[in-house]
């Protein structure tokens, strides 16, 4: 080891570290001013001078600190060993950005096989491949990753984020916008994955996914998922489960509808709620029309007559036969215009129907599915 003038030292053109951050160098230069160079650099003779093998940051920081000489160990090594030693020194350092590390590995592979390179660096071959994958990204994304390592302007764009963006290599404009989104919304790796999957799954909504927060992206996907789910055919059992769930949701929605809410909403909130209601109404109207058409084209002689359930008061179509809430038989002779309460008799069939059966019919009673049933009081009647 000896002191060598800084003027006699040449930087290594194959130095793994291509990016030197100003803040980091200033910190090291200040430390050297106060305590000196604690660890000598390693150089090799080259053309009457010395080329750095290890320690270029210490060399640069020493120049910033105003030193004229630096302690150095002189080794006579070939290009392969120099590249290996230089990479090994930098490989484990946290401040070596992923792109510089990947480029260094790429350079080392010129001298040795992938297996030997992985063994030399003490990593698996799969880890080696993961490092090299970053070089498949376009220069703009590599630059973003390098800049995110700078202490002066640390970002939330990491190596893991960058790897995910490989799926957009054919769309570099979207890649850049995704980087901006990751940094502005501070997206985690898993959140970034969700946005990218959304873009790939529904490319026509890409612009929306790039602009809206993740929670809105998830809501859009749910709506699309519901639409896709409707395409799938029903079986008898699943259709019945769906009908029950639909009626339950309708009852819950009915409980939520309360006009007193209006007094506490802002104008913008009322606008949003009205839009939601209109969308729901349009879907319900369309669904109701299809139900009506299916009933009208049937052979049961459908008439859209609504009546009140005699027990719980729920409004039902007379064709429902039983109340959807309390399961009471809807067609009671007691409510029929053809029933004579005094003589307890039907004027159409001229058969006797006792008062007890007329008031609380069962599904075995004559009134249960009587085609001559004529309710005295109809809620409404649609032709």
Active-site residue identified among 51, 56, 89, 159: 56
* 133: annotated active-site residue: no
DSSP 8-state symbol, 234? P
**What's the longest Cα–Cα distance across the chain?**
130
Dihedral angle, C-alpha 88, 94, 96, 97, nearest 10 °: 130
H or E, element range at 54: strand 49-54
Residues shown for the chain: 383
The candidate with the shortest Cα–Cα distance to 16, out of 74, 75, 73, 56, is 56
Dihedral angle, C-alpha 105, 108, 113, 115, nearest 10 °: -40
Neighbouring residues of 280: CB distance < 8 A, sequence distance ≥ 6: none
d(CA 233, CA 231): 6
Sign of the torsion angle spanned by Cα atoms 344, 346, 351, 357:
negative
* Vertex 17: Cα angle to 12 and 22 (nearest 5): 110
d(CA 55, CA 81): 15
d(CA 97, CA 150): 9
SS3 52: strand
SS3 157: coil
Do 76 and 44 form a contact (C-beta atoms < 8 A)?
yes
Catalytically active residues are 56
């Amino acid at each position: 080891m000896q002191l060598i003038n800084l003027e006699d030292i040449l930087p290594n053109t194959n130095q793994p570290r291509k990016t030197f951050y100003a803040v980091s160098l200033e910190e090291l230069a200040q430390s050297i001013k106060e305590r000196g160079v604690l660890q000598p650099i390693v150089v090799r003779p080259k053309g009457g001078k010395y080329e750095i093998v290890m320690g270029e940051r210490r060399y640069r920081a020493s120049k910033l600190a105003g030193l004229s000489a630096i302690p150095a160990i002189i080794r006579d090594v070939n290009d392969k060993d120099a590249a290996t030693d230089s990479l090994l020194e930098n490989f484990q350092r946290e401040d070596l950005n992923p792109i510089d590390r990947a480029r260094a590995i790429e350079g080392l592979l010129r001298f040795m096989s992938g297996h030997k390179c992985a063994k030399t660096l003490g990593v698996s071959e799969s880890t080696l491949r993961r490092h090299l994958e970053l070089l498949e990204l376009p220069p703009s994304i590599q630059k973003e990753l390098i800049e995110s390592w700078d202490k002066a302007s640390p970002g939330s764009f990491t190596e893991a984020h960058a790897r995910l963006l490989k799926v957009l290599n054919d769309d570099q404009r979207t890649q850049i916008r995704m980087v901006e989104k990751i940094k502005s919304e501070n997206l985690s790796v898993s959140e970034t994955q969700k946005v990218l999957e959304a873009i790939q799954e529904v490319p026509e909504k890409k612009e929306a996914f790039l602009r809206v927060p993740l929670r809105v992206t998830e809501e859009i996907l749910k709506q699309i998922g519901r639409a896709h789910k409707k395409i799938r055919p029903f079986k008898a059992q699943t259709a019945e489960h769906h009908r029950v769930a639909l009626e339950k949701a309708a009852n819950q929605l009915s409980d939520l509808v309360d006009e007193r809410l209006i007094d506490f909403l802002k104008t913008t909130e009322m606008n949003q709620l009205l839009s939601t209601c209109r969308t729901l109404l349009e879907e319900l109207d369309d669904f109701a029309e299809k139900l009506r058409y299916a009933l009208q084209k049937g052979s049961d002689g459908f008439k859209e007559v609504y009546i009140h359930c005699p027990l719980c008061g729920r409004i039902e179509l007379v064709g429902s036969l039983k109340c959807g809430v309390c399961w009471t038989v809807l067609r009671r002779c007691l409510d029929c215009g053809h029933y004579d309460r005094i003589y307890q008799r039907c004027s159409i069939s001229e058969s006797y129907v006792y008062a007890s059966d007329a008031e609380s019919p069962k599904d075995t009673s004559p009134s249960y599915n009587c085609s001559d049933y004529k309710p005295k009081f109809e809620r409404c009647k649609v032709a």
